[in-house]
């Protein structure tokens, strides 16, 4: 199997004699314990329980300390975390750790185990972060198939409660990854949910060194990750709506009917969300005090992003036969603005910042909706819109320092602007191009023709985007 970029075999088994990094692998595996523990802590703080939840944190720390953590998992964690270190020497080792993670995974490719599923997820995340979408998809595909082979999350009576919950969380992480990666790569989903599995438990209880865990209870109150999963299921249906629109399988009226149902789903979700999980500054700080600030932010960023996606098609002012066009267009603008405000706040409040890589794509979508307002909104809307765009761009530039793939995502926004400027009357008709922009975040976009000369509003947009150049 070969990559379309460099034509090198992705899974040719490495030879210790031909790979310099593997010649040093034994030596490099004895990582400085201080650095190891620092990076494991950074991973748990900034990444884990946001885009995925794979481990019981106290057990992960013990395994790392005792040297019993599989090398691929250790290197994968270190590669994800090293980019956030304040030490320049540690940041420079990011690619080194990433390479070790890939090589040790290849050496254990045939191992069918929970640990190899977790390793596949970590390495897949690393590939996505480095702008290698084909390899990302390949590693995620391995994780999906391994999970199906071992019938995750099913266990047996001999398994302890921690392992059962880890299996459950790993399964739901794969479900979430499948929703996002299938959209990002434009490939079919691999996993289905039959509602037979319980949702992850309360994080604050699970994080205890010896939690009082019981067998999963379908009626038990879930943790934050459980609510993220509920939203992800709605996201999957939003994807389907966009794809059917792009393939001209729905009329505008049929799409409006489905949109109304999905809008009700989002409203019902928010109504059912416990009061302490609704977004307020007080709730944010309360979650942050428990170590849950970033997960709380991830939940609400996801909510606003999914809503922005749902209503995005109604930014097209030509949908005159759609009775709710103005309502849905307004909702799109509202959620794009709310996303921007929350993202900015997350970087101002301690223990709350959202820095995982998919935040960049969500920020680009929010920025695209804000650009629409800059181009076509009322004059009174312009000052706040410019301010929010500037806030978004500050975060994008920050994320770009951590994740190489963000540069391509930023370029997608430039391309989007060019396509918008091609016509000041007909912008957001939902065709295959716009669906790719909204969902297929793993690949660059191309515009088929140069933009026309800029109008006054277009110059506003061009000036705003110049910050990212």
Per-residue DSSP letters for 165-183?
HHHHHHHHHHHHHHHHHHH
Lowest mean pLDDT among 93-107, 273-287, 348-362, 430-444: 430-444
Q: What pTM was computed for the model?
A: 0.88
Residues written for the chain: 469
Cis amide leading into 153 (omega within 30): yes
Which carries the bigger pLDDT value, residue 20 or residue 56? 56
Query: In the chain, pLDDT over 90 holds for what percent of residues?
Result: 61
For the chain, what is the mean pLDDT? 85
pLDDT surpasses 80 at 350: yes
Q: Give every CB contact of residue 423 below 8 A, 6+ residues apart in sequence.
A: 452
Which carries the bigger pLDDT value, residue 251 or residue 42? 42
Lowest mean pLDDT among 56-60, 114-118, 138-142, 312-316: 312-316
Average pLDDT over residues 127-150: 94
pLDDT at 423: 52
Query: In the chain, pLDDT over 70 holds for what percent of residues?
Result: 80
Rounded CA separation 178/158 (Å): 30
* Residue 242 CB-density burial (10 A; 0-12 exposed, 13-18 middle, 19+ buried): buried
pLDDT surpasses 60 at 158: yes
Lowest mean pLDDT among 64-78, 130-144, 233-247: 233-247
Which pLDDT tens digit goes with each residue over 357-381?
Answer: 999 999 999 999 998 888 777 888 8
CA 62 from centroid of its chain's CA atoms: 28
pLDDT surpasses 70 at 9: no
* Residue 296 CB-density burial (10 A; 0-12 exposed, 13-18 middle, 19+ buried): buried
pLDDT at 411: 87
pLDDT at 439: 65
Which pLDDT tens digit goes with each residue over 40-91?
Answer: 999 999 999 999 999 999 999 999 999 999 999 999 999 999 999 999 999 9
Which pLDDT tens digit goes with each residue over 260-314?
Answer: 999 999 999 999 999 999 999 999 999 999 999 999 999 999 999 999 999 998 8
- What angle (nearest 5°) sits at the alpha carbon of residue 29, between those of residues 26 and 35? 155
pLDDT at 248: 76
Cis amide leading into 213 (omega within 30): no
Which pLDDT tens digit goes with each residue over 188-212?
Answer: 889 987 788 999 999 999 998 876 6
Q: Which among 47, 49, 57, 103 has a CA at the least distance from the CA of 80?
A: 47
pLDDT at 5: 39
Rounded CA separation 319/315 (Å): 9
The token pair at 354 is: 């959202």
Under 8 Å between Cβ of 434 and 323: no
* Residue 51 CB-density burial (10 A; 0-12 exposed, 13-18 middle, 19+ buried): buried
Which carries the bigger pLDDT value, residue 88 or residue 26? 88
Torsional sign, CA 195, 201, 207, 208:
negative
Under 8 Å between Cβ of 46 and 84: yes
Q: pLDDT band at residue 10, thresholds of 50, 70 and 90?
A: very low
pLDDT surpasses 90 at 335: yes
Lowest mean pLDDT among 1-15, 161-175, 370-384: 1-15
pLDDT at 102: 96
Which pLDDT tens digit goes with each residue over 456-466?
Answer: 555 555 655 55
pLDDT surpasses 90 at 247: no
- What angle (nearest 5°) sits at the alpha carbon of residue 149, between those of residues 8 and 110? 40
Rounded CA separation 302/288 (Å): 18
pLDDT surpasses 70 at 8: no
CA 381 from centroid of its chain's CA atoms: 29
Domain boundaries, the chain: 31-223+335-468
Which carries the bigger pLDDT value, residue 267 or residue 429? 267
Which carries the bigger pLDDT value, residue 115 or residue 315? 115
pLDDT surpasses 90 at 242: no
Under 8 Å between Cβ of 57 and 44: yes
Residue 9 DSSP SS3: strand
pLDDT at 382: 87
* Residue 215 CB-density burial (10 A; 0-12 exposed, 13-18 middle, 19+ buried): exposed
Other CB atoms within 10 A of residue 433 CB: 17
Under 8 Å between Cβ of 312 and 333: no
pLDDT surpasses 70 at 26: no
């Amino acid at each position: 199997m070969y990559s379309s970029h460099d034509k090198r075999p992705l899974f040719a088994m490495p030879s210790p004699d031909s790979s310099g990094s593997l010649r040093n692998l034994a030596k490099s595996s004895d990582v400085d314990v201080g650095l190891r523990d620092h990076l494991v802590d950074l991973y748990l703080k900034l990444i884990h329980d946001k885009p995925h939840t794979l481990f019981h944190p106290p057990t992960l720390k013990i395994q790392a300390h005792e040297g019993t953590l599989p090398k691929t998992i250790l290197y994968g964690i270190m590669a994800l975390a090293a980019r956030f270190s304040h030490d320049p020497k540690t940041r420079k080792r990011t690619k080194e750790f990433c390479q070790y993670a890939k090589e040790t995974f290849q050496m254990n490719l045939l191992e069918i185990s929970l640990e190899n599923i977790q390793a596949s997820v970590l390495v897949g995340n690393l590939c996505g972060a480095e702008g290698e979408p084909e390899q990302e998809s390949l590693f995620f595909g391995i994780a999906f198939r391994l999970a199906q082979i071992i019938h995750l999350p099913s266990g047996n009576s001999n398994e302890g409660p921690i392992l059962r919950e880890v299996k459950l969380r790993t399964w739901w992480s794969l479900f979430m990854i499948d929703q996002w990666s299938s959209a990002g790569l434009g490939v079919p989903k691999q996993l289905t949910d039959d509602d037979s599995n319980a949702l992850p438990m309360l994080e604050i209880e699970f994080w205890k060194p010896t939690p009082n865990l019981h067998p999963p209870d379908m009626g038990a109150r879930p943790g934050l990750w459980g609510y993220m999963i509920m939203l992800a299921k709605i996201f999957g249906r939003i994807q389907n709506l966009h794809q059917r629109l792009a393939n001209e399988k729905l009329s505008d009226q049929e799409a409006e009917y489905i949109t109304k149902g999905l809008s009700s789903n989002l409203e019902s979700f928010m109504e059912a969300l416990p009061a302490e999980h609704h977004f307020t500054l007080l709730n944010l700080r309360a979650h942050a005090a428990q170590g849950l600030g970033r997960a709380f932010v991830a939940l609400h960023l996801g909510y606003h992003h999914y809503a922005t996606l749902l209503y995005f098609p109604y930014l097209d002012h030509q949908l005159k036969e759609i009775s709710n066009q103005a309502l849905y267009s307004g909702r799109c603008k509202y959620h794009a603005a709310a996303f921007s405000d929350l993202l900015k706040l997350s970087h101002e409040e301690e223990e709350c910042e959202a820095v995982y890589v998919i935040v960049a794509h969500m920020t680009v979508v929010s920025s695209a909706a804000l650009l629409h307002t800059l181009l076509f909104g009322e004059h009174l809307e312009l000052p706040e819109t410019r301010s929010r765009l500037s806030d978004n761009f500050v975060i994008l530039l920050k994320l770009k320092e951590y994740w190489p793939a963000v540069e391509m995502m930023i370029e997608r926004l430039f391309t989007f602007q060019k396509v918008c400027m091609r016509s000041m009357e007909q912008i957001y008709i939902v065709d295959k191009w716009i669906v790719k922009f909204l969902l297929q975040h793993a690949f660059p976009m191309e515009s088929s023709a140069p933009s026309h000369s800029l109008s006054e509003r277009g110059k506003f947009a061009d000036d705003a985007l110049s910050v990212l150049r």
